Amino acid sequence: MRIVKLGISYLVSVAVMTAVTVALGLFLWGIIGGWAGVSALDIVEETNKGVAQQRSLLIVEFVDLQRKTVWVSNPGKVDLILLSCIVYPKGSSPPSRDFMEIARAEASMEVSLGLDSSKCIFPDSLDPSRPYIVEIYAIALTIYNPSNIMENIQWAILVRSDA
Amino acid sequence: MHKSKSAVSAIVGGLIVLAILFTTIIPLVILLQNSYATFLQESNSRRIFDTDRSSESMLVDLIVTTTGLIKNLKLFLTNDGPITINPVRIWIIDANNQAILPCSGSGSSTPYIALTDIVLRPGENKTINEVSNCLMNPAFYNKVVQFLVVSERGRIFSSMRINITSLLNEFVYPYTLTVSIINMKRGRDYTVEVEPLGEGDANPRKFTHKATASNENVTVAVGVTAGRYKVTLLEDGKPPERLSGNPQVIEIPGITAVIFNLDWVKYEPVNLDVIIDAPRKVFVPQGEDEAFDVKIHIQLPKNASETVEIIEINEGMIKLEGNLPNRDITCYTHGTGFTLHPGQRALAVTCTVEVKGTGSPGTKYELKVVVPRGTIVGKGLTSGLEGYVNKDGVSNTIIIQIRK
């Protein structure tokens, strides 16, 4: 009797409530789906970078102070992009450096890669009796982004060795 | 009736929540876990690799090996760690100057010695022969060297610092150059100079010999490394006039022998002539003794090519032949040490022959003085040859006649 008095059928009200619930649910599903998708991409990307970093390995075999050449090799599992190389006296502050692709080191121990003074920054004069430090930044080729220097630095490995 | 109809939206809402849970949240969680597992797996793999790397242990020594007469320097690698090691590269460095000493002897364009297919199991040791060729390079002289061996996992093992100079003296010259000087002139100084033209090295680079006899030959052995050399012969400080092909430029190891033939006159000893000066006839009183002298001269033939010094006279070899029964000969020399020029004659021996007048007067006997070959010996003053000996010498027949 009350329904009749209000003029709204019970079925209509149920339909309206259901429609609203469905609309809100789909909206929420969309929001959550979008967030989940973005998060999944981020997770995959981060994981890839983390894995690539774990696979990156670079060793300094020898620093030829007479010829100003740093000999490196890559015993890791991924090819590397060398971003910077500096040699400076031990105990002093490292000089400023640029981060750009200076060489590529294949993931192979068959050859050793020489970085001469055109690729590596050396002090003007070198005294073989003094100790030196060599620092090299390198990043896995698979995650190297030429347009994002900061990201490259973040995911690069730093090799520091006595010379 | 009222309750069942109002629960429709709640049911729909619940279904949507479940759908969201199963289509987004749960897959996201699974992805997260998978990613973490992947990273963890990679991280563990790296940790295992690092552990293996740090477990590698290898001793690097330079040793001397002897095979027959050949000695060699070899690098001796010993795996004293618990895991297998694959050495891939050897650096030879100048420890004092922190510089690479390139191994040009290996024929490789790289400044290191690349190793292939060398596996060192735990406890195993191996020798690297390629090092020997590298160390023959003169660039290594006067250097303190160190060997760095790089493993496939990226570990670097170093040897002790080695002062290579003292070690190399014995091994550095893998080739022997022989320089022969033929027909030298007595009394002259001959000098052989071996001068490297480029990277080679020789020891000794200079050798002097004084000829003690004419036509003397001498051969000098010189230790050399591979390379080009100029070999020069000097006679009393200057190149011999009559010698062609001096100096000679040779390439080791292509040519390992040089001969300088000075082509001096070859001296051949000649026989000395014996001239016996004896009386033709001697009268001996019957039953009495008689003595007479016989002089023996020695002469150097005119065709002799050098002066000869008489160094030995065996007067005891001089004897008498003939049918005279009672006879005796006593000889004495006039000394040795005198010289004979070609064609010259000199008195060498004087003999006294004593005979006895046996038989009736008028009886005749024959007697001869014999100087056998080798009684007188001379030596060539120039050549030093001692082949100058006398021919067999026989005097004229001496008639011994018995008289009253």
Q: Say what the pLDDT of residue B88 is.
A: 94
Phi, psi of B5 (to 5 degrees): -75, -35
Query: B284 and B238: one domain?
Result: no
Residue that finishes a domain, picked among B100, B133, B168: B168
> Which residue among B31, B35, B154 places its CB closest to the CB of A59?
B154
A75 at B interface, C-beta within 8 A: yes
Query: B66 and B105: one domain?
Result: yes
Residues B300, B344 contacting (CB under 8 angstroms): yes
User: pLDDT tens-digit profile of B13-57?
Assistant: 888 889 889 988 899 999 999 999 999 999 999 999 999 999 999
**Mutation for B interface: A41, A48, A64, most B CBs within 10 A:** A64
Q: Say what the pLDDT of residue B64 is.
A: 77
Distance from CA of A54 to the nearest CA of B (A): 6
Give dist(CA B114, CA B137) in Å, integer: 18
User: pLDDT tens-digit profile of B249-272?
Assistant: 898 878 888 888 886 666 788 999
How many distinct structural domains can be found in chain B? 3
* Contact residues, chain A, for B15 at CB < 8 Å: 25
Q: What percent of chain B has pLDDT over 70?
A: 91
> Which residue among A17, A55, A112 places its CB closest to the CB of B9?
A17
At B1, the pLDDT band (50, 70, 90 cuts) reads: very low
Is residue B33 in a domain? no
Among A156, A145, A136, residue whose Cα is nearest residue A73: A136
Give dist(CA B378, CA B312) in Å, integer: 7
Query: B303 and B244: one domain?
Result: no
A110 at B interface, C-beta within 8 A: yes
Mean pLDDT over B223-229 rounds to: 84
User: pLDDT tens-digit profile of B182-220?
Assistant: 888 888 899 999 998 887 788 788 888 888 877 788 888
Tally of CA atoms within 13 A in the half-sphere of B396 that contains its CB = 12
Give dist(CA A124, CA B324) in Å, integer: 113
> Which residue has 């003169």 as its token pair?
B138
Query: How many Å from the N-terminal Cα to the C-terminal Cα in chain B?
Result: 201
Orientation angle between helical segments B26-55 and A10-55, nearest 10 degrees: 10
User: pLDDT tens-digit profile of B67-100?
Assistant: 655 567 789 999 999 999 999 999 999 888 888 8
Is residue B8 in a domain? no
Residue of A nearest to B13 (CA): A21
Give dist(CA B109, CA B107) in Å, integer: 7
| B165 pLDDT above the threshold of 70 | no
> Which residue among A32, A59, A62 places its CB closest to the CB of B20?
A32
CATH number, domain of B232, equals 2.60.40
Q: Which residues make Cβ contacts (< 8 Å) with residue B171, sequence separation at least 6? A: B64, B71, B72, B73, B132, B135, B136
Q: Which residues make Cβ contacts (< 8 Å) with residue B315, sequence separation at least 6? A: B331, B332, B333, B349, B351, B375
Lowest mean pLDDT among B73-82, B336-345, B381-390: B381-390
Encoded amino acid at B298, one letter = I
> Which residue among A21, A33, A63 places its CB closest to the CB of B13?
A21
* Contact residues, chain B, for A130 at CB < 8 Å: none
Query: B283 and B363: one domain?
Result: yes
Q: Which residue spans within B254-315 are E strands per DSSP?
A: 257-261, 273-277, 281-285, 289-299, 308-313
A41 at B interface, C-beta within 8 A: no
At B293, the pLDDT band (50, 70, 90 cuts) reads: very high
**Mutation for A interface: B16, B112, B145, most A CBs within 10 A:** B16
Query: B152 and B214: one domain?
Result: no
Query: B99 and B73: one domain?
Result: yes
Q: Which domain holds residue B181?
A: 175-261
Centre a 10 Å sphere on the Cβ of residue A2 and count the other Cβ atoms it contains. Answer: 5
Is residue B4 in a domain? no
* Contact residues, chain A, for B52 at CB < 8 Å: none
Query: What residues of chain A score a pLDDT lower than 70?
Result: 1-8
Chains A–B, number of C-beta pairs less than 8 Å apart:
126
Query: B378 and B285: one domain?
Result: yes
Residue that finishes a domain, picked among B261, B283, B305: B261
User: pLDDT tens-digit profile of B103-144?
Assistant: 754 455 788 888 888 999 999 999 988 887 777 666 776 788
**Mutation for B interface: A31, A61, A134, most B CBs within 10 A:** A61
Distance from CA of B208 to the nearest CA of A (A): 41
Give dist(CA B129, CA B135) in Å, integer: 11
Is residue B24 in a domain? no
Is residue B45 in a domain? no
Q: Say what the pLDDT of residue B167 is.
A: 66
